[in-house]
Chains A and B, each alone.
Chain A
Amino acid sequence: MAYNNVNFMRLLSEESSHSTVSSDSCEYYQTEIFDQLPSIQASRPEQSRQACEDYQGGSEAGEEVSHDSRGPKVKASTQPLRNLVMCIQGRRGVRDRRKMQISNIGFWESWRRSQSINRKRVWAQMGGTLSGLLPWQHTLHAIEGRFGVGVKAYFVFLRYLVYLNLLHCALIGGFVLGPTAFYGRGKNSEPLTFGGDDSVLDFFQGSGYLDRSPVFFGFYTPGSLNLQCLNTPLLYLTGILTILFLSLILVVRRTTVGYKHTWMLGKRHSMNVSYKIFCGWDFTIQDPPAAALKHSFIRNDLKLFLEEQSFSLREAQRTLGQRVRLYLLRFVLNLLVLTLLGGAFSLIYFATKTSQDERDHYWLVRLVIHYLPPITISFVNLLLPHIFRKISSFEDYSFTVQVNTLLVRSIFLKLASLGIYLFFIFTTIELNQQKNHFHCRENLFGREMYKLCIFNFLCTFCNAFLLNYPRKLLQEKYPSSLLAWLWRKQHFLIPFNVLDLVYSQTVCWVGVYYCPLLPLIGAVTLMATFYIQKFTVLRCCVAEQRMFRGSSSSVLFHFMLMLGLLMAAATLGFNLYEQEVTTGKNMSSCGPFGNGESVFNVTGVCVDSLPSPAQSTLRYLASAAFALPLILAEIILLTSYVSRGRANQKAIERLKDMLVMICAFPLQSSSDKRFLVKQHTTVLRRLRNPPRVRSAAIKEDVPLNH
């Protein structure tokens, strides 16, 4: 696109000096575009070959053929040699000529040029080494070669979450662990020793030793750092809020980048067959199994496209009676889905109620009862998506819509089950606290989140080593047995694995306020998950023959991540509000906000201590009088972006038309040419008037590669 863009801009600069199209610019424009098109160059093959031959002798005549106007010559002398479209001898000739120019240009210019060349080489080298330093790069490369881009995207997402969690750990270290380590804890805090009642089970139940450790909220009592605006509670709160805010910015940025990418290609991208044909083959493939896999991907993708074509044909041919029956069926099936969800939620409620049972049992039974809610949630999340898949096969949608509905339902199931569970924990803890005063409500909540996190990891581990690996061994040793036939080889189902990752990250975010070391636990479990999944994929799975539609679903997953983050923020806000409201009834006596202090108390004290201009600014920012101008400003900004987007779209359409006009008319007479160019320049002049529009339209879109 660069050649055409340069030409349009050239024409515009001519335009600024002349008001009408002169014959000069006409010839100039025409030769610019048409001489550089390979179609025209190819129609003079003898001449260009001849030119290449001549270059060996260094003759000047050859140059005239390819560059026979002033314009490209000016451009060619500044464009890097390598980018010129000619054979190597041609480039050698240009190089020699430039060298002669160099002696005319002078020492300074040539020195600058060689410096810029060296700098570019150094940058390229550095970039190469840096990208090789990224962790697990080699593994990702191997996985991409064997299983395709979709599976690699899962591992890239996992690595991104590891980075995110490590960032959270660093923030926690700075805001929470640091002040506690340096300035100590409160006077009447319990020492951290292995007491009488503690056992190894505490690591699984989150009670006893772990309850008093830095893992949970209750450990961080305010220590000797007691300034009005710089004390441990305020630092704790700031740390948590920074984590949530930073995560929001990062996730939103990733979502919008992915969304822009999908939107720019237009909704028809997944249907765009020409991409599949011309840009589908990966030229870097070297080993035969990867090549066979790629062939099958492309073939299946095309078959999918054809299937969707025939489906839309079928859909258009439905009679009214068939349509009514179909809609009725879909309505009934959706009711069924809602009923199943309701059943799942009530199951979770009963499990939560049972787990709060504090009667004395045998240690194993007690462990199972404690873990009953996570077990129920995992069971529900495992079973229900398969039932949903069965249901969606009756609903008669096209394949993509089927996959999307399944994904949306599974997402809703996972997030809603977590939300319902949090709600039930709140209410049961409230009830229990009114009955027998637990001394630390936040620790109980943190304990549940901790258990969820641990159990998720255990599930992944067991799935890999107790389910997939035996299945693979069975397939290898006794391939013809009945059990092997019933228990076929597993494909690596990308959407559901990504859903698991998002779910565990949401649990981390929800629990970070009550269990500050949860990001560290999360990071460690994610790294272990990477290696476990790598083992599963490379040893136990067969490559999925159907290609997974990468880009639009990645937007969906990032959107899911954002939803999880919003849920975490809502939970935190609700809990803080709850604390404020019930502060009279049951004072939480643990953690940084113990001893009757609440979050609002501490922040109020800090705000009061600020100088009065700062105070009044803060009060104004928090008041309603500021909200209205803020909303107005946002509306204005939004409108301007939308209108600019629309203008860009129009400009793109106009440029497309111009492209058609250029190509459609074989230029035969000079009057034809002049007429055409006049047409184009008037359109361009109109385009030029909103200057931002022009530059945005002509600037090349850089496609983003996830």
Chain B
Amino acid sequence: MGNKQTTFTDEQLEAFQDCTFFTRKEILRLHGRYRELAPHLVPLDYTNNPDIKVPLALIVTMPELKENPFRDRIVETFSEDGHGNLSFNDFVDMFSALCETSPRELKTIYAFKIYDFNRDSFICKDDMKRTLNKLTKGELTPEEVTLVCDKSIEEADLDGDSKLSFSDFENMVSKAPDFLSNFHVRI
């Protein structure tokens, strides 16, 4: 390979390349981005797989995530402990699942997890209200929010339990024309 780098062993880079949608160069660039979030915390040398986690508060300052109303939920979904502290593996995993070449099925699964605020594997009315409030920055009145959520559940709920299971969600998203183009983060 071209330039000598000591961040990862070749074997590690190969593994990353196969397990994610990124090339070697992109993985190294991602490591650079990860490191600049917390330079005192993240070592330059990852050959021995150090167990370092960057906290949520630092990750959501990234320009790719800063303006996203769901940034907290995205980071929490991909974190192992559920509180948003990402190791480098989780970091790469997150951007890989959200990148342009990631397939629709994968994105649907993660979108469902992101919108499921209380993590009960259903998007209930409360989850939807929180989604809506994040989306409109709280500018709709509570009655309007209730109306919109009721109509939304009515449209998407197929099994009649007044909350969205994964298959309801998947069915709804499969008909949406701009899900794939909207639901990706470019890094």
Contact = CB atoms under 8 A, between A and B. Distances in A.
Chain A: interface residue count, which band?
35 or more
Contacts of B109: 38, 85
Nearest to B99: A82
Nearest to B131: A277
Interface in B128-187: 128, 131-132, 135-137, 139-140, 144, 147-148, 151-152, 155-156, 158-161, 165-186
B182 A279 contact: yes
Interface in B82-117: 89-90, 92-93, 96, 98, 101-106, 109, 111-113, 115
A243 to B, nearest CB: 32
A42 interface: yes
Contacts of B68: 281, 283, 285
Given A81-B19, A85-B106, A95-B15, A52 B158 contact: no
Interface string A523-549: 000000000000000000000000000
B139 A52 contact: no
Contact of B185 (A261, A264, A274, A284): A284
Interface string A280-319: 1111111110110001001100110110010000000000
A44 B140 CA distance: 37
Contact of B184 (A88, A283, A664): A283
Interface in A178-194: none
Nearest to A49: B80
Interface string A641-668: 0000000000000001001101110000
A261 B177 contact: yes
B173 A701 contact: no
Given A277-B131, A664-B160, A705 B15 contact: no
B64 interface: yes
A89 interface: yes
B148 A302 contact: yes
Contact of B19 (A4, A85, A91, A291): A91
A704 interface: yes
A150 B128 CA distance: 27
A363 B162 CA distance: 77
A703 interface: yes
Interface string B51-78: 0000000000001101111100000000
A669 B112 CA distance: 29
Contacts of A305: 148, 151
B70 A281 contact: yes
Contact of A82 (B21, B132, B144, B159): B21
A700 B171 CA distance: 11
B89 A88 contact: yes
B29 interface: no
B67 A279 contact: no
Contacts of B185: 283-284
A275 B176 contact: yes
Contacts of A279: 173, 176, 178-179, 182-183
A287 to B, nearest CB: 7
Interface string A4-39: 100000000000000000000000000000000111
8 contacts: A1-B105, A42-B113, A273-B152, A273-B155, A274-B172, A278-B111, A291-B67, A309-B151
Interface of B: 15-16, 18-21, 23, 63-64, 66-70, 80, 89-90, 92-93, 96, 98, 101-106, 109, 111-113, 115, 119, 121-122, 128, 131-132, 135-137, 139-140, 144, 147-148, 151-152, 155-156, 158-161, 165-186
Top 5 A-B residue pairs of the complex, sorted by shortest distance between their CB atoms = A39-B121, A291-B67, A91-B19, A663-B159, A88-B89
